[in-house]
Amino acid sequence: MMTTLARQLLDRYQRGLPLSANPYAEIAAELGVSEQDVLATLRQLREQKIITRVGPVFDHHKAGASTLVAMAVPPERLDEIAAYISRFDAVNHNYAREHDFNLWFVVTAADQQQLDAVLATIETDCGMPLLNLPMEQAYHIDLGFKLAWQD
């Protein structure tokens, strides 16, 4: 069962985290709990795989370089390769799809040179070619959702 604090964090902060030196302290003050409670709840949500990360989403054209990548991974190696790719700080998210290209991930770096280095390392270490799909047209899709809680 999800705690009241976990529900509040998920409902209120899908977007719009406080922009300050101490955002978790501000969240705690807004919700009437301690900063330690906020951090512990976020850790628990991550451990339960309810969330994967808390952090900003940048316009990659303004903040560096980014690309979508697809790989055709043998099914028996999918978990291994996905775990390897997820270890890179430059990988925002990584997910399996039902397709010949069954592993997809987004790589973001400070510049194109760093991006290319990450892609080359992944390709070399995995021994499989990458399908590099850089964005040609940007679209804003609001991925915040109204959550329906059931007890």
E strands in 7-149: 65-71, 91-96, 103-109, 131-133
Which pLDDT band, with edges at 50, 70 and 90, does 26 fall under? very high
- The reported pLDDT for the residue numbered 60 is 63
pLDDT, tens only, 112-138? 999 999 999 999 999 999 999 998 877
Percentage of the chain lying above the pLDDT 70 cut: 93
- Dihedral angle of Cα 56, 60, 63, 69, to the nearest 10 degrees: 90
Per CATH, the architecture of 60-133 is what? 2-Layer Sandwich (3.30)
Beta pairing partners, 105? 69, 94
93/99: higher pLDDT: 99
Taking the domains of the chain in order of start, what are their residue ranges?
4-47, 60-133
- Read off the pLDDT of each residue in 78-101 and give the average, rounded to a whole number: 93
List, for residues 1-22, the tens digit of each pLDDT value.
789 999 999 988 887 888 899 9
